[in-house]
């Protein structure tokens, strides 16, 4: 694809619209070279002497690759193929990751730092996506990011980063300076007027009451900014999250081929073999994606009783190879990711037989893929009640309805082109459908 055509195509990617990627594709390579130079400068001399300086989770990955010759070869091949993808897309921009040691240094650097707010280098906010974006769409990467040993090691690294971002040490970027998340530019970009009160700032002018980076990321919103539609009308189904509509699918099958460009929903895989799965055959799925500045907590779309609630550990950086190179690091593959990624399954049984059971499925995409559920089986929840939140990272949300539960969707289904960004924005608590009587 010619560079100009690639750039035009890139600007319409969901990840660009969502804020996970810079609008200018050339900034991807610039950012990656930037993070590589920082990490090699910090650790380049040390890694030649061994891995003892690495954080325990990164050290475990290093040992895994040293002990598994086949996986070592695949990862080396993935890095080489990532360089080739980069050369095709951005031949005039330096490429930072040339070896496994480079990758280990970058991982070690990333998980010891909280992302800064940098409007000139937007990808600095999503460093793991930046690190792997070229590697994800390669023949070798197609295997590596599905490899259980590699995926488990990578999850441990992301968990370690999440632990750091939960700590007070991560507050260094939650400040009002130019590269801080409380800066004037961030206030506008992240609509902080919907989250932060005057009293909050006056009480703590430095960090505005936030205790960590993750505390800022899954910040609570001012209630009046997200009213609940039809709170006393059981027929009104509401959105579980802030997001942009990715797809509405009807008459979903129990088992379907989800590894094609159509990215069909396959309930058996999507619901991870739940005993409730058969109740949804022939039903409907609504999937939305959250931008980096959206409200990252999710709420019940109906009232009812929680009958199942759990987290399914899955992939984080696997994307559908047949979709082609995706500078948005996976947002083109959201249908596929609903079947294979780390996700939560929260089933709520309505008291209305017409609605039956609804599954709320928050889906992690790249970065930490950390999902926290705050309700448990047996809890009674009201429509609009908080169910949990995403910690730092990309995310998507699917709602699964039983057949004939939905009389009419009141949101627009995007065009069939999965690369389009023409879906409407919906706020959490807003009406998205009317149930059958």
User: Does the residue 352 lie in any domain?
Assistant: yes
Q: How many domains does the chain have?
A: 2
Residue reference for tokens 């082109």: 417
The answer to whether 426 and 432 are in contact (CB under 8 A) is: yes
Shared-domain flag, residues 369 and 292: yes
CA–CA separation, 124 vs 102, rounded Å? 18
Q: Which of 140, 132, 155, 153 has its CA nearest to residue 67?
A: 153
Q: Is position 222 within any domain?
A: no
Same domain, 41 and 122: yes
Nearby residues of 362 by Cβ (< 8 Å), 6 or more positions away: 241, 298, 343, 344, 371, 388, 390, 395, 396, 397
The answer to whether residue 249 sits within a structural domain is yes
Tell me, yes or no, if the pTM score tops 0.75: yes
Assigned domain for 195 exists: no
Residue 14 lies in a domain: yes
SS3 state of residue 138: coil
**pLDDT tens sequence across 215-257:** 999 999 999 999 999 999 999 999 999 999 999 999 999 998 7
Domain presence at residue 67: yes
Percent of the chain with pLDDT over 90: 64
Per-residue pLDDT at 322: 61
Listed residues 141, 165, 189: the one ending a domain: 165
416 and 268 within one domain: yes
Same domain, 399 and 313: yes
**pLDDT of the residue at 234:** 92
Is residue 40 assigned to a domain?
yes
Does residue 176 lie within any of the structural domains? no
**For the segment 193-206, what is each residue's pLDDT rounded down to a tens digit?**
999 999 999 999 99
Query: Which of 120-124, 135-139, 208-212 is predicted least confidently?
Result: 120-124
Average pLDDT over residues 22-34: 63
Kindly state whether residues 125 and 264 are assigned to the same domain: no
Q: Provide the domain limits for residue 234.
A: 227-435
Same domain, 151 and 239: no
Does residue 72 carry a pLDDT above 50? yes
Are residues 265 and 146 part of one domain? no
Q: Which pLDDT score, from 0 to 100, does residue 419 have?
A: 45
Q: In Å, what is the CA distance from 125 to each residue of 82, 132, 156, 217, 219?
A: 21, 14, 20, 11, 16
Residues in the chain: 437
């Amino acid at each position: 694809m010619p560079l100009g055509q690639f750039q035009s195509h890139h600007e319409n990617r969901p990840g660009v619209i969502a804020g996970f990627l810079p609008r200018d594709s050339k900034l991807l390579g610039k950012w990656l070279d930037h993070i590589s130079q920082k990490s090699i400068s910090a650790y380049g001399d040390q890694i030649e002497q061994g891995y003892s300086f690495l954080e325990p989770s990164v050290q475990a990955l290093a040992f895994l690759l040293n002990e598994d010759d086949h996986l070592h070869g695949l990862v080396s091949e993935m890095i080489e193929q990532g360089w080739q993808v980069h050369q095709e897309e951005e031949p005039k921009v330096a490429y930072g990751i040339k070896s496994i040691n480079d990758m280990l240094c970058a991982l070690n650097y990333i998980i010891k730092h909280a992302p800064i707010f940098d409007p000139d280098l937007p990808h600095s906010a999503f460093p793991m996506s930046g690190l792997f974006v070229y590697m994800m769409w390669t023949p070798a990467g197609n295997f590596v990011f599905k490899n259980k040993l590699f995926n488990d090691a990578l999850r441990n690294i992301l968990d370690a980063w999440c632990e750091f971002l939960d700590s007070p040490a991560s507050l260094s970027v939650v400040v009002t300076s130019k590269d801080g998340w409380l800066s004037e530019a961030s206030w506008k970009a992240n609509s902080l007027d919907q989250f932060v009160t005057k009293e909050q700032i006056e009480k703590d002018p430095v960090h505005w009451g936030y205790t960590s980076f993750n505390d800022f990321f899954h910040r609570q919103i001012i209630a009046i900014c997200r009213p609940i539609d039809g709170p006393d009308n059981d027929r009104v189904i509401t959105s579980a999250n802030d997001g942009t509509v990715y797809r509405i699918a009807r008459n979903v099958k129990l088992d379907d081929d989800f590894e094609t460009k159509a990215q069909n929903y396959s309930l058996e895989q999507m619901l991870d073999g739940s005993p409730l799965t058969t109740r949804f055959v022939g039903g409907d799925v609504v999937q939305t994606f959250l931008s980096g500045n959206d409200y990252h907590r999710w709420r019940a779309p109906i009232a009812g009783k929680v009958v199942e609630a759990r987290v399914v550990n899955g992939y984080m950086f696997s994307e559908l190879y047949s979709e082609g190179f995706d500078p948005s690091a996976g947002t083109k593959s959201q249908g596929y990711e609903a079947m294979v990624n780390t996700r939560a399954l929260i089933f709520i049984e309505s008291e209305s037989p017409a609605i039956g059971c609804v599954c709320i499925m928050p889906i992690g995409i790249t970065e930490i893929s950390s999902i926290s559920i705050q309700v448990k089986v047996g809890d009674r929840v009201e429509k609009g009640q908080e169910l949990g939140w995403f910690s730092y990272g990309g995310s998507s949300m699917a709602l699964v309805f039983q057949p004939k539960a939905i009389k009419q969707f009141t949101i627009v289904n995007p065009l069939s082109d999965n690369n389009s960004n023409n879906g409407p924005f919906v706020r959490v608590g807003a009406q998205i459908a009317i149930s059958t009587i």
